[in-house]
Structure 1
Amino acid sequence: MTSGLAQSAECTATVSGTIVGSGHHEPLTGATVYVRELATGTVADSSGSFRIEHLCPGTYTLVYQFVGYKTKELAVRVGADSSTAAASVQLIPDSQTLQEVVVTEHRSEAQQLLQTQVSLSGAALDQTRGQSLGESLKSLAGLYSIQTGPSISKPVIHGLYSNRIIILNNGIRQEDQQWGTEHAPQVDQFLASRLTVIKGAASIRYGSDAIGGVILVEPKPMPTQPGMGGELNIVGGTNGGLGVASGMLEGAFDKKLAGLSWRLQGTLKRSGYVRTPNYYLENTSYHENNVSGDVHYDHRNWGAEVFYSQFDTKVGLFTGAQVGSLADLYAAISNPQPLVQPNFSYALGRPYQDVQHDLLKARAYVHGPKGGTLTATFARQQNTRREYDYVSFSGALNPELYLKLVTHTTDLVWEHAPIKTKSAGQWSGSVGFNGITQGNVRQYLFLIPNFRNYGAGLFAIERYAVGPWTVEAGLRYDYRWLRAYFLDDATKQTYHETHNWQNANGSLGVAYQLRPALTLTANLSTAWRAPNVADLYSNGLHQSAVAYERGNPNLKPEQAYNGNLVLAYAGKRLSGEIGVYNNLINNYIYLKPDSVPIIRQRGAFPSYTYTQLQATFRGIDATLTYKLTDQLTLATKNSLLYAYNQTDHGYLVFIPPNRSDNSLRYDWSKVEKLSNLYISVTGLYVARQNRAPAVTSRQENGQIIFTGDFAAPPPAYFLLGAELGFMAQVGRHPMSVSISGTNLANVAYRDYLNRFRYFADEPGRTIMLKVKLPFSVGKRS
């Protein structure tokens, strides 16, 4: 493809086709098609169909990939103003790629930074269905979760979480009071066909706060073939009597309504008291009701989308963490088991969280005459959070904490057309604007004040690829404004405190293909985060965390300097990657445990205060897969993390311990009436967190004074798991089934990242059944 032809002709050509598996020719939903020359691609819909539009004339290399199948490459010749059908592409099963983690070299969303990425998609994502977002991502190297009991889980990337990670839910920056460690993301995992994690500072494209990384929850493309179809997911679990049902229905029109498509989706989830190996955890029931709808219209050179979703959840909080006095608190921490051990129940009473998150998104795009694309996106989110204490202090029907956060975001992005150079290189890039405005309203007991928040950012990213080299650089400028409102108790007059911050950051990434199967990638980037209202002005009992939290109005913005180096290899039998990273954060905002618990009318509680220091987070992520035979595969994922408080020359609390996750998997080449039959055995080892502040206590005037933490880190533990899965034809459609077991040895253990580890063990043995059945009505060819 010559540069002269690419620049003189309009890019109006289209390549389309279907991707199926060999044998039963089942459609491979979620398979990816990657255009190597353009560093872009798409994902196959529920019928296995794909469509790549707005191509310039020339010859392209299409790379077809799907978890559990061999990668296939085909050359396609595209002429001017033409539509090229790639017909039906068959992929052959390959046990080498049947692993939980797919390391993606290409970009799942245009113009991401050249950084380490891992993804869950296809069968690997299906194995996590029914779990929360945080629990789903724990299987990836470098990913962890911080928990509050068995029902609340937040993603952790390289030791960082909450406001240092940006979650993009269907392209929208999720804003749901994420500052709370016990505020789980309100994201329906069944909406996603791919979960992509960018590990490391990624503020340039996605905005300030992405000091730790970005999580992209990406739905599959809308259907393009006329007809109607969908899928049904059923999940059942023995522990807690878990039951989940999620359904999706979608369709596309033809003739006069060609280009118009739609999708409806809903999820119901119920769970009762979770059981540890020795007792039930009282009031750990969980309810979830979600619904969403999406309408797309795609024309030749423009398109538009309207999307709406509502996430509604009610989460019971373990009553064993609710204490009434200092003596009760010390007794609860020192006792090996909770004092109250009920029988199983689905009952859900105080204390609990009741959270509803509504998202409305409108997006439009237009392709320029020379191949560039301008995309405008507007979204409104409303997050309503109610937290009910163990005992009501504000009226029997009222919550103790009520927060309503309304967020408006605007994004305007221009991606210019690829530009070929005489040296056979290619330029690609984008410029854009991000804007955000927020308003928070509170009622009842005070934890954080009402506030208004405004932000704006400008960015530019450019990438140049030539031969084995790819270089990418980006620049960004951000401005943030925050005003918090208070009530003077003496005068009953309102007053406010106002802050504004601004910052500029940059990034530089380089990738070099040492050999066809060996790639080295390096990245240096900076990022920043302005203090949020909780960091500055918290002052009250946080019901869900069962803790008293104090802010610090003198906090300064965090500034991060991040570097990572990744070596990736993809051989015939051996594949994997090893990455090292170092993240230096100046003015790191830290919720530090106080020495003395605080006593309020409600009882005695652990107390925490926001402080600031200089911290480093460095570590190694290593993922290796070795194919012992054509059917037997050994995989290992290892995460080593070292965090240090350079200001006080000590350690930090709630830093993930070292971890090693190993599995052995056997795949049958062919079984009558079944396909993709496999069985796997896993062993997870989590070390004791020895790099934590020393925990000491002493008596002073009849009161126990703690230092470091309220309890020492728990011992190391090892968990055994197993899984059996297969696909079977149900009519014209493949039904996938898996049965998995976790903590099969029913080990009693406590996890250092669980806020309730002071009071109770983790869940015991759990057996889960997952069934996924796609279906179609009418034409979907």
Structure 2
Amino acid sequence: MKQLLLVWIFCGLFQFSFAQQIEITGLVKNADGNPLVNVHVFTKKNHATTNEQGRFVLSTNASEKGVKVQFSHIGYIPKDTLLAPGKHQITIILSWKTQDLGGITIQGRNNKKTVAYQNTIDSKTLENQKNQSLGEILQSLPGVSVLKTGQGIQKPIIHGMYGSRVGIYVQGIALEDQQWGSEHSPSVDLNNTQKIAVIKGAAALQYGGNAIGGMVLLEAMHQAKDTTFGQAIWFAESNGLGGGFSSNYHWNQSKGWSWRGTLGFKKFGDRSAPGYVLSNTGSQSGHAGMQGSKVSEKKSQLFQYHYFYNELGILRASHLGNVTDLYTALQSSNPLIVEDFTYQIQRPKQVIHHQSFQFQQKNFDENQGYHQWIASTQWNSRNEFDVNRNPNETRPALTLHLITQNLQWNRKQSVGANNQLLYGVQTLFQYNQANSPTGARTIIPTYFKTEVGSYVVGTFVLPHFWTIDAGLRYDFQYMQARKNYLKSRWEERNYNQNFNHFIIGETGVQWITQPKFTYHNFAANIGVQKEFPHYYTFKAQIQLAQRSPNVAELFSDGLHHSNAQIELGDLNNQPERSVKSQLYLQKQGVNVHWEVAPYVQSVQNYLFLKPIGFESTIRGAFPVWEHTQTHAFLVGVDQQFKHQFRGNWCIHQKLAWIYGQDVTNHQPLIDLPPWNFSLHVQKNFTLVDAQLTYELVGRQNRFPNFNFVTNIVNANNELEPVEIDISTPPASYGLLHGQISKHFTLKSGNTIEILATIRNITNKRYRDYLNRQRFFADEMGRNLQIQIQYQF
């Protein structure tokens, strides 16, 4: 027996001598010296992908002769290298593929240079989460949370700011889709998106000055000039018993035009919390698009059209008939209305159609500068359906039709060897038509808005690895609305003291008004960056900005059907004035990356929704929220740490904390994210890749007390005063998620990747402070997701 054991040990050592380990850490760049994201690095037995800094770590076994490591990326010439056993640190340069079209050489250009503070989500992460919403995907970035309305509606929160304070830009154009609503999800097609960036700093002034919370930039897929390829993704989910597909296909024409078509659809039934069905939370959505582009040495042209459709059910238990039912719902641990699972989407619900058309032309000059012209038109149609007591009623309670036209001219110009200026002019024309086919009062009025903005941003590279960026922006805004006010509401809000000149007529108990507002907003930013040895980077910046009140903050006056609440605007509301300072310290090594980013922000005239009581209507009893202003002070910190270990192990930890105070009223701010922590562990095995994530969200212990007293009918059929607690946040919670994936390369060169993901593995029951429907139901329970990606 001992002899057999010795033979077995000897054979193992003998085998080890012929299968030695290679450990590779590296950086992949393009010919311009910029890091390349999502490069496929692989051997016969193992593979890795470059991160957003272009870095990768790969471990594999090899013979004494070494192993061939290959590098591939769409639009670049593949490259390989032979490495001997041992440890290696390498840098790989990939060259653009070129194509000769009638004597013209087509070559990719990547001259983008930015020192702004930003975090990005690369295409690989997006591919693995195509069935998620934009808000859910953005949560993977430090300092980003989501404001939710039920299970299907999410809006990003950046450093405690949300709504109109966070601009969402698609190919350089602001998304205009009634973003004033907290329950209006962004109407975006992620199937057409290759990269998402959250950006702060002077570079953000190029896009707009209103977004005092930050910018979310969605960049389209790169159009390769000499290849035909496509992608198809199928996915299914256990919670909601639904799924869908998304696809895109790229092809070329002989005259130099490249084309891409996209198509997708998904449908889900009622979601489920642990123990019960979340009735009427089904959804279905679809998208389609076409993009064409042409690039030469002197100019580039691009046009694109996209259509997006979304139909979302609103939790039935959030729309109740009277104050007593509403009080009972707030006291109950389960929803008052729970029905059998169904795919049918009933009232209350919202139906959205969004179309966008865009044309861009960019003329290049000799010094990597350009002139750029952009023209775009967006059409947005939103129908909101309430719970109508008439079962035969099919008409929506509210219809909003929004058309927006943008025109832009941007100029990038080199100043000296390393400095550059970016400046431009932007215009916006917008018309919104509001109607109620059922005769209900519309929450916002019909209005017209025009904006003209100009900006200049400079980036200056100094000796000793110092960089300074600075920017200025001015925006003019004019808004004119037409709205009927109840005479009683007009006097209740004291509008008769300052706004009687808006009255142009009357009808019965209502004033007919035509409010007109003009705003002049300024923004400025200055930042410095210093690069130190050993991959350390330090940044500091200060930003001044103003934001005009949006249409809801001025004119809201009625039931917000999707939110199940009555909202009141105020014509007295003034522009917000923000001052924000940020610091940023980063270490970006080969295997280790960490960053710490503290910030402090003061906002005068900070606008927020404040609960002030209940109101009973013929449609039921609803809480009343008022758009009011205060002086807000916020301080917080974002932190993350990544480490790639030997053997293809990787950990990624992040933490976010924010403190907010209502200085005027000496109380905490409402709706601020509690502290949150996450730990992500990943291991790339020979056969599969595995990931495990633990997410911990604390209880928000700092909150204002907006509870109030109302009368309900008790069991003895008598009126009884009770306190309505709508202030106390829910308890903290921890969630465990897992994912495994397998990558296949077919003989044809096409690839297939299969992913299996489980969200909320333990099926934990919890409620989220940032969910507007936390009063009525728990969050969604365990969800198994299967996804198949096919690259061809």
Which interval holds the TM-score relative to the shorter structure?
0.7 to 0.9
Aligned to 2:450: 454
Aligned pair in 2 of structure 1 residues 202, 326: CA closer, same or farther (>3 Å)?
farther
Q: What residue identity is the alignment partner of 1:287?
A: Q
Q: What residue identity is the alignment partner of 2:548?
A: A
CA distance in 2, matches of 1:503, 1:150: 36
CA distance in 1, matches of 2:404, 2:704: 38
TM-superposition CA deviations, 1:458-495 (whole Å, max 9, x none): 11111111341111111111111111112454278854
Aligned to 2:378: 381
Aligned to 2:704: 693
* Residue 728 (structure 2) pairs with residue 717 (structure 1): no
Aligned to 2:234: 234
Aligned to 1:22: 42
Task: Summarize the alignment of residues 586-665 of structure 1 with structure 2, pairs less than 5 Å apart.
Answer: 586-594=604-612, 596-665=613-682
- 1:238 deviates by 0.8
Aligned to 2:8: none
Aligned pair in 2 of structure 1 residues 236, 332: CA closer, same or farther (>3 Å)?
same
- 1:190 deviates by 1.6
Aligned to 1:223: 224
Q: What residue identity is the alignment partner of 1:655?
A: L
CA distance in 1, matches of 2:90, 2:667: 48
Query: Which of residues 77, 91, 110 is equivalent to 1:72?
Result: 91
Return the TM-score normalized by structure 2: 0.83
**Residue pair 2:474, 2:523 contacting (<8 A) in 1 also:** yes
- 1:392 deviates by 5.7
Aligned pair in 2 of structure 1 residues 493, 682: CA closer, same or farther (>3 Å)?
closer
CA distance in 1, matches of 2:33, 2:664: 57
Aligned pair in 2 of structure 1 residues 26, 369: CA closer, same or farther (>3 Å)?
farther
Aligned pair in 2 of structure 1 residues 24, 413: CA closer, same or farther (>3 Å)?
farther
- 1:510 deviates by 0.7
Q: What residue identity is the alignment partner of 2:319?
A: Q
Aligned to 1:48: 74
CA distance in 2, matches of 1:33, 1:699: 57
**Residue pair 2:201, 2:527 contacting (<8 A) in 1 also:** no
Q: What residue identity is the alignment partner of 2:404?
A: T
- 1:454 deviates by 0.7
CA distance in 2, matches of 1:224, 1:464: 33
TM-superposition CA deviations, 1:255-296 (whole Å, max 9, x none): xx1x21111001101011101111010010001010010111
**Residue pair 1:29, 1:48 contacting (<8 A) in 2 also:** no
Task: Summarize the alignment of residues 310-325 of structure 1 with structure 2, pairs less than 5 Å apart.
Answer: 310-325=307-322
Bigger Rg, structure 1 or 2 = 2
Aligned pair in 2 of structure 1 residues 414, 704: CA closer, same or farther (>3 Å)?
farther
Q: What residue identity is the alignment partner of 1:146?
A: L
Other structure's SS at 2:206 match: helix
**Residue pair 1:15, 1:83 contacting (<8 A) in 2 also:** no
CA distance in 1, matches of 2:375, 2:45: 40
Other structure's SS at 1:140 match: coil
* Residue 357 (structure 2) pairs with residue 356 (structure 1): no
TM-superposition CA deviations, 1:708-731 (whole Å, max 9, x none): x62410000011111112211133
Task: Summarize the alignment of residues 172-191 of structure 1 with structure 2, pairs less than 5 Å apart.
Answer: 172-191=173-192
Query: Which of residues 558, 571, 581 is equivalent to 1:553?
Result: 571
Query: Which of residues 423, 430, 442 is equivalent to 2:422?
Result: 430
**Residue pair 1:200, 1:212 contacting (<8 A) in 2 also:** no
Return the TM-score normalized by structure 1: 0.84
Other structure's SS at 2:515 match: strand
CA distance in 1, matches of 2:332, 2:234: 39
- 1:127 deviates by 2.6
**Residue pair 1:645, 1:652 contacting (<8 A) in 2 also:** yes
CA distance in 1, matches of 2:218, 2:50: 14
TM-superposition CA deviations, 1:482-541 (whole Å, max 9, x none): 111124542788541111011222111111012231100111111111011110110000
CA distance in 2, matches of 1:345, 1:195: 34
**Residue pair 1:392, 1:399 contacting (<8 A) in 2 also:** no
RMSD: 3.2
- 1:193 deviates by 0.8
Q: Any stretches of 5+ residues in structure 2 without a counterpart?
A: 1-30, 55-70, 78-87, 97-102, 485-504, 713-718
CA distance in 2, matches of 1:222, 1:377: 18
**Residue pair 1:565, 1:579 contacting (<8 A) in 2 also:** yes
- 1:369 deviates by 4.8
Aligned pair in 2 of structure 1 residues 252, 334: CA closer, same or farther (>3 Å)?
same
CA distance in 1, matches of 2:644, 2:302: 44
CA distance in 1, matches of 2:94, 2:741: 34
- 1:417 deviates by 3.2
**Residue pair 1:316, 1:348 contacting (<8 A) in 2 also:** yes
TM-superposition CA deviations, 1:672-715 (whole Å, max 9, x none): xx5xx3212211110011111135454679465758x6241000
**Residue pair 1:31, 1:122 contacting (<8 A) in 2 also:** no
Aligned to 1:507: 525
**Residue pair 2:106, 2:225 contacting (<8 A) in 1 also:** no
CA distance in 1, matches of 2:673, 2:207: 25
Q: Any stretches of 5+ residues in structure 1 without a counterpart?
A: 1-12, 35-44, 52-68, 88-106, 421-425, 776-781
Q: What residue identity is the alignment partner of 2:696?
A: Y
CA distance in 1, matches of 2:301, 2:176: 23
Other structure's SS at 1:320 match: helix
Aligned pair in 2 of structure 1 residues 481, 464: CA closer, same or farther (>3 Å)?
same
Other structure's SS at 1:135 match: helix
Other structure's SS at 2:514 match: strand
**Residue pair 2:704, 2:727 contacting (<8 A) in 1 also:** no
- 1:550 deviates by 0.3
Query: Which of residues 663, 666, 678 is equivalent to 2:689?
Result: 678
Other structure's SS at 1:463 match: strand
Other structure's SS at 1:193 match: strand
Aligned to 2:24: none
Task: Judge which range, 116-125 or 651-660, deviates more.
Answer: 116-125
* Residue 743 (structure 2) pairs with residue 746 (structure 1): no
Task: Judge which range, 467-476 or 363-372, deviates more.
Answer: 363-372
